[in-house]
Amino acid sequence: MSPACLPRHPAVAYLFPVRLITMPRFDSFDQRNYETVPAREGYAQWAETYEQTIKHDMDVWLLEELQSVHWNAVRRCADLGCGTGRSAAWLASRGVPVIDGVDATPEMLNRARERQVFSSLHLADVCATGLPAATYDLVMTCLVDEHLAELSPLYAEAARISEDGAAYVLVGFHPFFIMATGMPTHFKAGHGEPVAIETHVHLLSDHVTAALAAGWRLAELREQVIDDRWVKTKHSWAAYRDVPISFACVWRR
Ligand SMILES: C[S@@+](CC[C@H](N)C(=O)[O-])C[C@H]1O[C@@H](n2cnc3c(N)ncnc32)[C@H](O)[C@@H]1O
């Protein structure tokens, strides 16, 4: 809603019973102040080294914990924000036979193509994929949502392409971690300095609101905290012990 549309007088507000949602802004937490670029620009630069630097602990442990998805019964999956095909390779290893990938960054898609786990790859926005309606029994979005200013279009697009009964698995960078550390998604650029990719803070309630509005219901929610396994591989993160770093939701239609 644009500011011009907002009710200005309490009496007028009474006539417009709209709940105004104020999302936390990443700027309120930023402790790094890195140069920041839009997602497409950032991932174009990061594509070459992405696989060496992304931490599988963000998502793989969570995916392995999920009880409500029978991966080897999936017939057709859409991987929205597929990147280099890292998550798709995991899905394929669990028996998912057909995976269509969508990503907005050509350089990430080039890497994904080399991986040969996708049935098709599409250069498109996760919120307007161009994929056929009512086609997939699994939709997956892994480590993408923090780059979206709004969640509703993502959940609506996932619902549009899903069959009845489909699962939508969304793994995200946990808002608590972003808030506690003031750390955006970032990578080391060619010039050697860290560069941040535009990061948005979405509370878990924002996910619930957007997903319910798109017709999803929550089947499972898991959270990964910084535990001994994490600290063993990244000693400096002992300071963040017990802070949740990522989460996985399974939504059903
Ligand atoms: C952290 S990577 C995750 C890739 C993969 N899912 C994984 O887990 O390794 C984020 C990906 O989201 C893509 N992305 C970000 N915003 C997007 C958008 N609006 N539409 C499509 N892709 C987007 C980026 O290009 C990048 O490949």
- CATH classification at residue 160: 3.40.50.150
Report which of residues 214 and 29 the model is more confident about: 214
pLDDT 10s digits, 163-191: 999 999 999 999 999 999 998 999 999 88
Q: Is 107 in the pocket of ligand 1 (CB under 6 A)?
A: no
- Which pLDDT score is estimated for 154? 98
pLDDT band for position 21 (cuts 50, 70, 90) = low
Residue count of the chain, please give it: 253
d(CA 185, CA 197): 6
Is a pLDDT exceeding 60 seen at residue 19?
no
Q: Is there a domain that residue 216 lies in? A: yes
Q: Is there a domain that residue 211 lies in? A: yes
Is a pLDDT exceeding 90 seen at residue 23?
no
Mean pLDDT of 80-104: 97
Q: Is 37 in the pocket of ligand 1 (CB under 6 A)?
A: no
- Which pLDDT score is estimated for 129? 98
Is a pLDDT exceeding 90 seen at residue 6?
no
Q: Is there a domain that residue 11 lies in? A: no
d(CA 245, CA 174): 5
Q: pLDDT above 90 covers what percent of the chain? A: 79
Residue identifier of the C-alpha nearest atom 26 of ligand 1: 83
Q: Is there a domain that residue 16 lies in? A: no
Contact 216, 159 (CB under 8 A): yes
Is a pLDDT exceeding 90 seen at residue 4?
no
Q: Is there a domain that residue 133 lies in? A: yes
Report which of residues 29 and 151 the model is more confident about: 151
Mutate to test the pocket of ligand 1, among 103, 129, 148 (most ligand atoms within 8 A of CB): 103
End-to-end CA distance of the chain: 28
Q: Is 82 in the pocket of ligand 1 (CB under 6 A)?
A: yes
The 3-state DSSP class for residue 138 equals strand
Residue-number span of the structural domain to which 175 is assigned? 27-252
Q: How many domains does the chain have?
A: 1
pLDDT band for position 116 (cuts 50, 70, 90) = very high
Is a pLDDT exceeding 50 seen at residue 115?
yes
Nearest C-alpha neighbor of 105 from the set 88, 122, 118, 86: 122
Report which of residues 19 and 199 the model is more confident about: 199
- Average pLDDT of every residue of the chain: 90
Is a pLDDT exceeding 80 seen at residue 62?
yes
Ligand 1 centroid distance, CA of 231 (Å): 26
HSE-CB at 50 with a 13 A cutoff on CA atoms is 23
Residue identifier of the C-alpha nearest atom 13 of ligand 1: 81
User: Which residues pair with residue 194 across a beta bridge?
Assistant: 188
- Which pLDDT score is estimated for 20? 53
Highest mean pLDDT among 15-19, 142-146, 229-233: 142-146
Q: Is there a domain that residue 196 lies in? A: yes
pLDDT 10s digits, 203-237: 999 999 999 999 999 999 999 999 999 999 889 98
- Which pLDDT score is estimated for 22? 66
Q: Is there a domain that residue 118 lies in? A: yes
Ligand 1 centroid distance, CA of 190 (Å): 20
Q: Is there a domain that residue 99 lies in? A: yes
